[in-house]
């Protein structure tokens, strides 16, 4: 999942920081007032829920704009891809892949509770060329696919990448994450206002670890669904190819990127191992 959530998400984080620091400062000077801290936690949770929900809704709206600027622009007969005569084989192949993705997404919508899923190609001026991300708000979803995944040398793993993102939409992981992060925001304020500093830091470290573990579990669950749909061979090939790509990146940069990714995604070797455990009967 990895879509940018504009300023609402940052405003929610700023609210949490201010409230947590505020109750901690009050506790530093006075004995903890349980009622006041609980009220601050409830207010923080409500603001977090509201702002993060707005962030998700805005991401869907932004996705529709991106779809018109990228996906539809590439497929329109009068669009820039087709203007000026015949197109090169790679671009023609990419357009064919996009149409196959559209067909699969329409089948997915008919089999799910969603009403609409928008699609966008990223890379160049909009997003990252190797991106694969999704988000959902209510009964609308959006999927970003970097143009990297639509080219011939990635055609064998594109179905797995797409199914992983569709699994996020099917499971409504965005809503589940909204609930868990709202609860975490309330607990952070409670810890800051009621516990001594050392204990508060310990609890916050545990909450952070639990949050990361939940994110890993979510990603592995979607990996499992994608592997079940595409088959073990495709799943393993997708992650091995990703591993090979990352080895082309300079070591220091690669290690730093891998460390940052651990906040929300399990290590790639774990995902390869998990893919090998996909049911052998997968199609």
Torsion sign, CA atoms 83, 145, 140, 92: positive
| Cβ within 8 Å of residue 251, ≥6 positions away | none
Cα separation, 167 vs 134, in Å, equals: 10
Mean pLDDT of 249-267: 90
Helix or strand (DSSP H, E) at 122: strand 116-122
Instruction: Indicate the pLDDT class of residue 242, thresholds 50, 70 and 90.
Output: confident
In this predicted structure, what is the pLDDT of residue 187? 96
Q: What is the pLDDT of residue 199?
A: 93
At residue 82 the predicted structure's pLDDT band, cuts being 50, 70 and 90, is low
Q: State the DSSP H helix or E strand holding residue 134, giving kind and residue range, or none if neither.
A: strand 132-137
Query: Which of 91-105, 163-177, 245-259 is predicted with the least confidence, judged by mean pLDDT?
Result: 245-259
Q: Which two tokens stand for residue 82?
A: 């087709």
Rg of the Cα trace of the chain? 22
Query: Rounded to whole angstroms, how far apart are CA atoms 226 and 167?
Result: 7
- Which residues, in sequence order, are CB contacts of 203 under 8 Å at separation 6+? 187, 191, 195
Helices 232-246 and 268-276: angle between axes, nearest 10 degrees: 160
Task: List C-alpha distances in Å: 31 to 24, 37, 44, 144, 193.
Answer: 11, 11, 21, 50, 10
Across all residues in the chain, what is the average pLDDT? Answer: 89
What is this structure's pTM? Answer: 0.89
DSSP secondary structure letter of residue 247? T
Q: In this structure, which long-range contacts are made by residues 258-264, counting pairs with CB atoms below 8 Å and at least 24 apart in sequence?
A: 262/212, 263/212, 263/215, 264/1, 264/2, 264/212, 264/215, 264/219
* Residue 267 or 74, more confident: 267
Q: Is the dihedral of CA 192, 196, 198, 203 positive or negative?
A: negative
Q: Which of 35-39, 189-193, 251-255 has the lowest mean pLDDT?
A: 251-255
**For residues 232 and 282, which has the higher predicted lDDT (pLDDT)?**
232
Considering 15-29, 31-45, 160-174, 264-278, the range whose residues carry the highest mean pLDDT is 160-174
Residue pair 131/165 in contact (Cβ under 8 Å)? The answer is no
């Amino acid at each position: 999942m990895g879509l940018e959530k504009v300023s609402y998400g940052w405003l929610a984080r700023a609210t949490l920081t201010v409230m947590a620091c505020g109750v901690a400062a009050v506790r530093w000077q006075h004995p903890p007032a349980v009622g006041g801290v609980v009220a601050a936690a409830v207010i923080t949770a409500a603001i977090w829920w509201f702002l993060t929900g707005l962030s998700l809704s805005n991401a869907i709206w932004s996705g529709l704009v991106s779809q018109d600027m990228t996906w539809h622009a590439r497929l329109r007969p009068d669009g820039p891809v087709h203007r000026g005569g015949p197109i090169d084989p790679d671009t023609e192949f990419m357009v064919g892949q996009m149409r196959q993705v559209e067909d699969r997404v329409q089948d997915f919508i008919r089999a799910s509770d969603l009403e609409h899923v928008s699609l966008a190609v990223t890379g160049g001026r909009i997003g990252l060329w190797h991106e694969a991300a999704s988000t959902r708000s209510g009964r609308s979803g959006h999927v970003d696919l970097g143009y990297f995944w639509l080219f011939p040398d990635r055609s064998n793993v594109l179905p797995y990448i797409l199914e992983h993102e569709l699994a996020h939409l099917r499971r409504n992981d965005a809503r589940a994450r909204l609930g868990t992060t709202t609860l975490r925001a309330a607990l952070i304020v409670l810890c800051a206002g009621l516990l001594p500093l050392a204990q508060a830091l310990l609890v916050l470290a545990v909450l952070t670890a639990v949050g990361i573990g939940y994110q890993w579990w979510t990603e592995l669950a979607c990996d499992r669904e994608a592997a079940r749909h595409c088959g073990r061979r495709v799943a393993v090939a997708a992650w091995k190819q990703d591993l090979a790509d990352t080895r082309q990146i300079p070591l220091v940069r690669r290690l730093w990127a891998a460390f940052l990714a651990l906040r929300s995604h399990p290590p790639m070797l774990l995902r390869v191992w998990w893919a090998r455990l996909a049911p052998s009967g997968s199609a």
